[in-house]
Amino acid sequence: MDSRAEKLQQLLRDARLWRGDRQAPLRAWPTGYGALDALLPGGGWPCGNLSEIVYAQCGVGELRLATPLLARLTQQQRPVALIAPPYLPYAPALQQQGLNLQHTHIIDAAQEPDALWAAEELLRAGAGAVLLWQERLDLHTQRRLQLAAEQGDGVLLAYRRGQQSAHGTAALSLRIARVAQRAQVEVLKCRGARPAQPCLLAS
């Protein structure tokens, strides 16, 4: 054993050194898309956390991305809420996607503070997942929502229309776009791993 390898081992044992591959395992709900799960550190949507979905426009498959999660939660009788959706969530389609409509709630909040307040309250009350459509959340709001999600152990998906991630504290940030008539998901940021190549969703 030469001394350089020994020194390296010594350095690695130093408590001040933080190594990214030895973090605590993330708890996550599978997204329902195997190719996407493989890219994400916990294997899905992180529990008790804020995740961000960036989409260029409606109709690119942005809600489809979340329906397997919603179906799984509502089948387990955990309530889910859609807050301030841009269009009418269509009940027959939701049922076709496997959601239990009895545990699906929709909240039309015209005012931004109302939407944020409702999201926070419902997360604290133990909603399994809250989908929130808001253009921009400031840092303070993100922290509040993050804490609420932690407290209720729910998944918060913040939908944001645009190209770039804007929610700094999100544990996961995905961008969904329609490329060659298929939905393509790109991981912009994920806590605990390095973003990998974009993947195509099976439609």
Partner 1 sequence: MLWLCLYLPRLPAEALGLRDAREVVVAQRGASRWLSCDSGRLAAGTPLATALSLNAELRALPRRPKAEQAMLLALAHGLYRYGSPVHAELRELDEVGALPQALIWLEIGASLRLFGGWPTLRAQVQALLAEQQHEAQLAVAPTRAAAALLASRGEPAYLPTQEALLAALASLPVSSLYWPHSEIEVLHSLGLRRLAQLFALPRAAFARRFGPERLRQLDQLRGLAAEPAQALLPPTQFRRRFELLGETAQVEGLLFALRRLCLELQAWLRARDTGLLALRLSCEHAQRRRSLQLLRLASAHRDGERLFTLLRERLMREPLPAPVRALELRSLELAEPVAIAHDLFDTQAQAQQNFQATLERVAARLGESAVWQPALQADHRPDRACQGERAGAVNAGDLPPRPLWLLARPLPLPGTPQLEPDFERIESGWWDGADQRRDYHSAEWQNARVWVYRPRDGEDARWYLQGLWG
State which of residues 37, 112, 124, 184 lies at the interface with partner 1 (CB under 8 A): 124
Comparing CA positions, the residue from 154, 189, 133 lying closest to residue 29 is 154
State which of residues 9, 57, 75, 163 lies at the interface with partner 1 (CB under 8 A): 57
Contacting residues for 13 by C-beta, under 8 A, at least 6 apart: none
How many residues does this entry show for the chain? Answer: 203
**DSSP state, residue 40:** S
180 counts as binding partner 1 under rule CB under 8 A = no
The identity of residue 60, as a single letter, is: V
**DSSP state, residue 18:** -
Which helix (H) or strand (E) segment holds residue 4: the answer is: helix 3-13
d(CA 66, CA 142): 20
**DSSP state, residue 79:** -
For the chain, the first-to-last Cα distance in angstroms comes to 54
Phi/psi at 4 (5° precision): -70, -40
15 counts as binding partner 1 under rule CB under 8 A = no
Least spacing, CB of residue 103 vs partner 1, in Å: 9
56 counts as binding partner 1 under rule CB under 8 A = yes
State which of residues 34, 59, 162, 168 lies at the interface with partner 1 (CB under 8 A): 59
Phi/psi at 103 (5° precision): -110, 15
Nearer to partner 1, 112 or 193 (CB): 112
Residue window 101-120: x/- pattern of binding to partner 1, with contact defined by CB under 8 A: xx-xxxxxx----x--xx--
Residue window 66-105: x/- pattern of binding to partner 1, with contact defined by CB under 8 A: -x---------x-x-----xxxxxxxxxxxxx---xx-xx
Least spacing, CB of residue 182 vs partner 1, in Å: 10
162 counts as binding partner 1 under rule CB under 8 A = no
Nearer to partner 1, 44 or 79 (CB): 79
138 counts as binding partner 1 under rule CB under 8 A = no
Interface residues toward partner 1, by CB under 8 A = 56-64, 67, 77, 79, 85-97, 101-102, 104-109, 114, 117-118, 121-122, 124-127, 178, 181
